[in-house]
Chains A and B, each alone.
Chain A
């Protein structure tokens, strides 16, 4: 059973196009995230949603718009794609582990290549 699943796994598109990446989790977690991994493998938070509400929006161009139709889904839509958007995008969800900590689980990633 896949816990956090993303589609597609690979996405190749031309500059200027609009694309979406879908994410679904079947773990029953309340919080979901999008992270970006750049060409040097550095992972950085983009967005965080809790119970469909946006709680973190890092310095991300407004061409990136997350959408959470329900607790189990968090999609990422990207408008007017640019070469610099090429990266691996990871979806994640998290559960509370104790009074203050949470444990995150990641999808398999979507490798986006903009040509």
Chain B
């Protein structure tokens, strides 16, 4: 089956720093989503981005489908950005396959 690898597994930042999270996937996909799981456990949709670039405030994402990777950029990080960031893909089986996540800790 398709493999989804995220890096780095852990990231520690000072407030105000920028960061880039990476997601590699082993096959072509129909769907790619980024999620943020906050410290209360909620899974929050960040981006639906099977290809191209999108921006939402301090967050932006780029997926290069031909090279099978996606990047999530977080600028001017805040303590509320802490949590686990998941990349998930769907290869047309109507279910998401998740990476293991990047755990982000932002300190003030």
Contact = CB atoms under 8 A, between A and B. Distances in A.
A102 B43 contact: no
Contact of B41 (A42, A101, A108): A108
Interface residues of A, number: 28
Majority secondary structure, B binding face: strand
Majority secondary structure, A binding face: strand
Interface of A: 31, 33, 35, 40-45, 48, 50, 55-56, 88, 90, 94, 97-98, 100-106, 108-109, 111
B30 A88 contact: no
Contacts of A90: 43
A35 B88 CA distance: 13
Given A43-B86, A43-B98, A101-B30, A106 B93 contact: no
B97 A45 contact: yes
Interface string B26-47: 0000110101010001110100
Contacts of A111: 41
Contact of B33 (A44, A45, A104): A104
Contacts of B84: 41
Nearest to B48: A103
A73 B70 CA distance: 33
Interface in B61-108: 84, 86, 88, 90, 92-98, 100-101
